[in-house]
Amino acid sequence: MALEIGTNPMGMDAVAAHLVAAFAGLQDVRVQEPDTVVARCDKGVLHELAQGLKDDVEVGYETLNFIAGVDHVKHFESVYHVYSWKTNTYLELHVEVPRGKAELATVTDVWPAADWHEREAWDMVGIRYLGHPDLRRILLKDDFVGHPLRKDYVDLIENHPHV
């Protein structure tokens, strides 16, 4: 790819229109200037959609930058930030995860970079990624109790054995 840094041969609106036309699973597609498309999808279609987004010929989100786990109190959210080298644009894909059953399909088989990011989201927010090859805690110690970035987390004495 001999694209100059920051150039987008398609234009943001064309990228968004292409995504709307090609992927029925994407909802609420909107452009966030200068270089990001924000969208939402149901958790059921995430895996299929991720594979499609990566394999897409015109845009092709080949790189996973990071996955964020968010606690919105009523529900969790798993946010995928992916990057297209063909258009130099980002896609910010929000997936709602119900709080009672925080489970979601893994995308490690689509983007291998998802491995540690999903482990971190599991560690901090407690979203369980089904099908992940090795879903262990990544930052906290193995016997940590709870998920500290949940809004309802209370600091437990079990997690402070040295006090």
Rounded (5°) CA angle 109-8-16: 65
String of contacts with another protein for each residue 119-158, x by CB under 8 A = --------------------xxx--x---x----x-x---
Total residues interacting with another protein, rule: CB under 8 A: 12
Does 5 bind another protein (CB under 8 A)? Our answer is no
Does 159 bind another protein (CB under 8 A)? Our answer is yes
* Cα of 159 vs its chain's centroid, Å: 28
Instruction: Strands of the chain (E only): list them.
Output: 27-32, 36-41, 61-71, 75-84, 89-98, 103-105, 128-130
For the CB of residue 152, give the shortest distance to another protein in the complex, in Å: 13
Q: Pick the closer one to another protein by CB: 39 or 69.
A: 69
- For the chain, helix, strand, coil in percent to 5 are 25, 30, 45
Q: List residues near another protein by CB under 8 A.
A: 139-141, 144, 148, 153, 155, 159-163
